[in-house]
Amino acid sequence: MDLGIKGRVAIVTGGGRGIGRETAREFLEAGVKVMTCSRTKAQIEQTCSELAKQTGGDIRHIVADTTKPDDIKKLVAETVSAFGTVDILINNAGTMYSGRFAEMTDEGLQKQLDTKLFGFLRGIREVAPIMRKKKWGRIVSMIGGAGKEPDPYMFGSAITNSALLNMTKSLSTEFGPDNVLVNAVCPGWVGTALWRQHAEGLKKELGVADEEEARRLATRKNALGRFGKPEELASAIAFLCSERASYITGVSLNLDGGRLKGLW
Ligand SMILES: NC(=O)c1ccc[n+]([C@@H]2O[C@H](COP(=O)([O-])OP(=O)(O)OC[C@H]3O[C@@H](n4cnc5c(N)ncnc54)[C@H](OP(=O)(O)O)[C@@H]3O)[C@@H](O)[C@H]2O)c1
């Protein structure tokens, strides 16, 4: 399918690995110019060099921490300086704050809020005026299923995610008249480094010693019975940013292999 976005300019935060990396690749293959960032210099450099070779596309990067307002400003300024504009923002840089209420700390929750709620909001604040002026824009935020279906083990992530879902719907209404589409995706378990970082905690939560058993139990609710692959997330994200999705806004798409059983 021709996505109809050749020549557009995308920012993908957290493109060093995982879902962000695959999303950047998907855009490059569609002829979209990409600016990305992460905190680890060596990894973002290597990823960008590999993706440029693999796709022949135009990808740039900066080292940035999206919990820092000035880094987000710099990311957008560098994009405009390199490519002249911003058409697409993928709010992806983030992590997961797992653990039950009793283990939650104010500092842990604050970090999660700074990374995802404030990091995403600040990115949108920087790009929205550019997109609204040109009457074309796509904003997609990576949220997570626990925002829709509370999970006591995901307490800190879940309450952050619910706020992001509300943000998505509200901003889709506000920016709609300017043809800036604001959507979200809610991944279930995806096989990335993030899962590995949380494997020990999940094993404990599920009461199993074996990582494979934890994987099996984590996905037992999924209709497809398996983890997602980052590239499966990336194709859906690219579609939401495409010309083919021109009538979709305010949506939070579950990319979870059929995990959530609710009707929205
Ligand atoms: N994997 C899942 O099962 C799952 C489920 C639900 C939601 N999600 C969401 O999907 C998004 C991507 O997850 P993933 O699984 O692809 O994770 P990942 O493999 O850990 O990749 C995350 C990327 O974001 C970067 N990053 C993290 N914090 C950052 C910050 N403060 N500033 C700049 N870059 C930052 C990381 O690089 P550095 O560490 O070098 O900065 C890395 O490149 C996250 O928002 C996550 O919450 C994932």
Report how far apart, in Å, the C-alpha atoms of 189 and of each of 98, 145, 201, 202, 260 are. Answer: 13, 9, 14, 12, 12
Distance 151 CA to ligand 1 centre (A): 20
Ligand 1 test: best mutation among 23, 70, 96, most atoms within 8 Å of CB?
A: 96
Distance 177 CA to ligand 1 centre (A): 31
Distance 94 CA to ligand 1 centre (A): 4
Q: Count the helices and strands in the chain (H runs, E runs).
A: 9, 7
Q: At 54, which amino acid appears?
A: Q
- Say what the alpha-carbon torsion angle 90, 242, 31, 94 is, to the nearest 10 degrees: 10
The pLDDT score that the predictor gives to residue 196 is: 86
Distance 95 CA to ligand 1 centre (A): 5
In the chain, what are the helix, strand and coil shares in percent, each to the nearest 5? 50, 15, 30
- Mean pLDDT, 10 residues at a time, the chain of 264 residues: 96 98 98 98 98 98 98 98 98 96 97 98 98 98 96 96 98 98 97 90 92 90 95 98 98 97 85
* CATH number given to 9-188+228-249: 3.40.50.720
Distance 16 CA to ligand 1 centre (A): 9
> pTM of whole model > 0.85?
yes
β-pairing verdict for 59-63 and 33-38: parallel
The token duo for 261 is 């059983």
Ligand 1 test: best mutation among 11, 25, 37, 38, most atoms within 8 Å of CB?
A: 38
- CB of 83 closer than 8 Å to CB of 35: yes
Adjacent-strand bridge partners of 142 = 185
Tokens 């292999």, residue located: 257
Determine if ligand 1 sits within 6 Å of the CB of residue 43: yes
The pLDDT score that the predictor gives to residue 20 is: 98
